[in-house]
A and B are shown apart, each in its own frame.
Chain A
């Protein structure tokens, strides 16, 4: 990952491709052959690009549990094997030293992160959800509604209604989750009584 694109071209030019040219191949053929060598015996998994909403097909090549390459899916009726620069660089998100790999915690007033265990972080969050929910839960709320009077006119009256919610926790995200996760998320958040639920569609 510390190899820039230009360095990569230099490297590949001086090693694999040069070797292949030595074997009597044109540079184009050599590049293709180098790719074939890389993905030979790799497992291919079909996926859809995670970036824009065109929904291009991607073939993800894995070897020994590592993602080694991603290519446009030639069978895909929308993308027909093509990808943009983002989709084509998919493997750089997976093989990236700056990915978060552990839960992190920042205490009130702290100046830095510290690594924490999953179980601790989840326990703490769950306790906070329950604590805030229990303290702020609104079973009923007074709200103004329009009502018809006996003479047929409308008037605004304040009435108390069951609302069963908390206004003290909010959520935003996410248009990057899978459908099943989006459904599960709204189900979970609403079970806790949240109504401030928003995501990318609004912005």
Chain B
């Protein structure tokens, strides 16, 4: 979230699209309801289904799965056409005035493609997507927004095709409802109104997922809603710590703090820094990522300690490196496994046999392994895959180790919620049975592997024998007896290894002593004199008067601004900032756009304790301490962007600098009504080696009479993810005992299905049974003149539990092997199925 949960109360209009908080983040609805009750805020829900959130909405718009960009592109067109954008905001704080290469062409010019597309490689040459630069190397601008090559005019051109009629033809949303949504949401494009957006996997799990979010980001910038209390673009994350696990680099492409995983050609630390550290000629840009070398050096010092020296590039060579272009993301990983490329596999607190798209392929892939380690609280479909449906255990040579992990209340540590708030959890009881905390399991494995390398040697022992592991009292053989998670939290925060002086002061002023916990990432160094496991979390475990302070465990409830920031409750990254991009909440003089909702305010006369000069920010922790834009030394608000401004034009993405509507891989219509380009031109297609034939396990069927219904997966309040925990909870299981298929009354009549009937749901890849639920929550769509039915089903179930099979199986047996062009997140929210009564 750019903002945070309580901040929803500050909104004037809440758009929920791609999410269903009443169901999946139930307690958060309290804050949406509070905005409605106390501010008279309006709630808009756009969803294929009339969800539990829609039941509370002031305005509900139905929309076919996978057509969000058409819907939002129409809103961009509406805002521009009716002059409802916030001009001062976009001229000062976004790249709307920037001039793009005159050879750049939009999808309006090239019928669904941007300039530079190569159909052979399925990639864009982005040469024409670059900005025109002036003599000093800064992008040229037309602040009147009239130049035909400026971003603003290109945006207009790109979305001129997204008329209400065209959008309605694609989305199935009635035109009058579309216009009501557009008008209501665009009403927030004024100084004293804020609109917020909540999304979740309903937006990410598409071949155009990243661009769904980009489209909304563009809208939020046009309306001046980024940085505002009650504004922002807010990802409602699905797991208690999926924010933290992402922050800490449990992905193939990122190290902690979103530092890139090294690739082969970045042969040393200097090259790594050179290739990854953005540069800018814009003097008003903070370009915070210019500090990246400090974060990388401090990370290496954290993991390799004294063994990391200047002479050995701080151990940079000990990190594993990817080949150029090597992709290790989920779908590729399981494809490699399916092809027998892995011997060993860890499924650690995850159940891919049910959660992975195209789960049938995942289950077959597991059988190709020599061994698997499954760490969980309960047995599950992954650990027991070898005895699952269609498997003959005697033929499966995979050894499986199932290790019992303890539960959250049986250990101590922090988790980070969607609002980037890291909160500490204490241990209530000892681990149940012989179960162990995950960190203790890691400790045991670390110690055993290291001991073997120390005694026997082996392939490149350096990264193993040089790894720091000082997490508590050590036993006879040097093994940590029990991991003290506070010590890990301190390693993440970072330490000073030498005294640090402010050399600009006369005489030089001592900032920190050797051995001190870092006060924040501001003091991190690139010369090996600081350690920090994750720069974003620096300040989470700091010190006061020489004593460590666990900031994540704080429980002060003061709310000085009245905006619900609660600065003394736990700790949010970065540096306890509650609303990121908050410098956009004020004008160039530092005056709040909305004085009634001042996230930040520049007080020009108040003495700033840090500089001892007049001029200080009041309110939230500002996005950098510099004065407002128009003041002397003032800086642009988007401190993580080299240009310093928000990207309405985003040349960094693979599939285009503006979002464009493409049909899902599997869709019900033969042509994309928007352009000649049917699917996203840059998605990775899963062809077999022989040539153009799709491998049987990855088959798809678009606009195919055998699979005539649009389907989506979703969740219910009573279960969580694949249900490994909740299927074992008697109360949850009693409330929602098995997988169901939700269908409209109209389709039910057509198929002779009644609520409670058992039905078979099938796709090109697999099938499962489900109990039918006939509701008025789904209605047939009119798409390009035809009636299109949509169905939906939850993915919480699996064959392994309940043991009698009464729960059914995973909805992901149906979903396809296809991912987003940028993130490779699978498209599980729009695919095609058939439904038959059993």
Q: Which residue of A lies closest to B426 (CB)?
A: A45
Residues of A within 8 A of B378 (CB): 98-100
Contact B329 A202 (CB under 8 A): yes
Q: Within 8 Å of chain A (Cβ to Cβ): is B537?
A: yes
The minimal Cβ–Cβ distance linking B598 to chain A, given in whole angstroms, is 20
Q: Tell which of A47, A52, A84, A165 touches B239, judged by Cβ atoms closer than 8 Å.
A: A52
A185 to B356, CA, bound (A): 21
Q: Tell which of A75, A122, A184 touches B444, judged by Cβ atoms closer than 8 Å.
A: A122
Contact B435 A99 (CB under 8 A): yes
Residues of A within 8 A of B247 (CB): 179, 182
A120 to B514, CA, bound (A): 43
Interface string of A171-203 (1 = CB under 8 A from B): 111111111111111111111111111111111
Contact A82 B321 (CB under 8 A): no
Q: Which of A136-181 contact B (CB under 8 A)?
A: 136-137, 139, 141, 143-145, 159, 161-181
Q: Within 8 Å of chain A (Cβ to Cβ): is B551?
A: no
Q: How many residues of B contact A (CB 8 A)?
A: 166
Q: How many residues of A contact B (CB 8 A)?
A: 121
Q: Which residue of A lies closest to B411 (CB)?
A: A178
Q: Which residue of A lies closest to B556 (CB)?
A: A77
The minimal Cβ–Cβ distance linking B713 to chain A, given in whole angstroms, is 11
Q: Within 8 Å of chain B (Cβ to Cβ): is A121?
A: yes
Q: Within 8 Å of chain B (Cβ to Cβ): is A55?
A: yes
Known contacts A48-B415, A85-B731; A134/B459 CB under 8 A: yes
A129 to B345, CA, bound (A): 10
Interface string of A5-48 (1 = CB under 8 A from B): 11000000000000000000000000000000000000101111
Contact A178 B324 (CB under 8 A): no
A161 to B330, CA, bound (A): 25
Q: Within 8 Å of chain A (Cβ to Cβ): is B699?
A: no
Q: Within 8 Å of chain A (Cβ to Cβ): is B734?
A: yes
A137 to B444, CA, bound (A): 22
Known contacts A86-B726, A174-B350; A67/B417 CB under 8 A: no
Q: Within 8 Å of chain A (Cβ to Cβ): is B653?
A: no
Contact B318 A164 (CB under 8 A): yes
Contact B343 A169 (CB under 8 A): yes
Interface string of B335-362 (1 = CB under 8 A from A): 0110001111111111010011100000
Contact B386 A106 (CB under 8 A): yes
**Number of A-B residue pairs with CB-CB distance less than 8 Å in the complex they form:** 492
Residues of A within 8 A of B326 (CB): 143, 195
Residues of B within 8 A of A201 (CB): 242, 245-246, 250-251
Q: Within 8 Å of chain A (Cβ to Cβ): is B26?
A: yes
Q: Tell which of A105, A179, A202 touches B537, judged by Cβ atoms closer than 8 Å.
A: A179
Q: Which residue of A lies closest to B303 (CB)?
A: A187
A1 to B429, CA, bound (A): 19
Interface residue stretch chosen among B217-225, B260-268, B289-297: B260-268
Contact A110 B393 (CB under 8 A): yes
Contact A182 B245 (CB under 8 A): yes
Residues of B within 8 A of A102 (CB): 404, 433-434
Residue in A80, A110, A200 whose Cβ sees the most chain B Cβ within 10 Å: A200
Known contacts A60-B428, A172-B346, A202-B825; A133/B448 CB under 8 A: no
Known contacts A54-B28, A178-B241, A179-B414; A75/B261 CB under 8 A: no
A21 to B439, CA, bound (A): 48
Known contacts A100-B377, A203-B825; A173/B248 CB under 8 A: no
Contact A53 B25 (CB under 8 A): yes
Q: Tell which of B256, B403, B423, B828 touches A103, judged by Cβ atoms closer than 8 Å.
A: B403
Q: Within 8 Å of chain A (Cβ to Cβ): is B402?
A: yes
Interface string of A77-91 (1 = CB under 8 A from B): 111101111110110
Residues of A within 8 A of B437 (CB): 181
Residues of B within 8 A of A137 (CB): 459-460
Q: Tell which of B265, B415, B559 touches A161, judged by Cβ atoms closer than 8 Å.
A: B265
Residues of B within 8 A of A197 (CB): 250-252, 328
Contact A127 B452 (CB under 8 A): yes
Q: Which of B571-610 contact A (CB under 8 A)?
A: none
Contact B432 A101 (CB under 8 A): yes
Residues of B within 8 A of A169 (CB): 342-346
Contact B343 A183 (CB under 8 A): no
Additional pairs, 17, CB under 8 Å, beyond known A100-B376, A168-B342: A4-B730, A47-B425, A50-B407, A52-B239, A66-B429, A85-B731, A89-B731, A94-B432, A106-B386, A122-B448, A164-B318, A175-B350, A178-B412, A179-B248, A182-B244, A186-B255, A200-B721
The contact sample of 18 A-B pairs, CB cut-off 8 A, is A48-B417, A50-B415, A52-B26, A67-B429, A84-B717, A93-B725, A99-B378, A100-B402, A173-B250, A173-B347, A178-B413, A179-B245, A182-B245, A187-B303, A188-B467, A196-B328, A201-B242, A201-B245
Can you list the 10 inter-chain pairs with the closest CB atoms, starting with the nearest? Answer: A101-B433, A174-B349, A178-B413, A55-B417, A173-B350, A165-B320, A126-B448, A161-B264, A137-B459, A175-B242
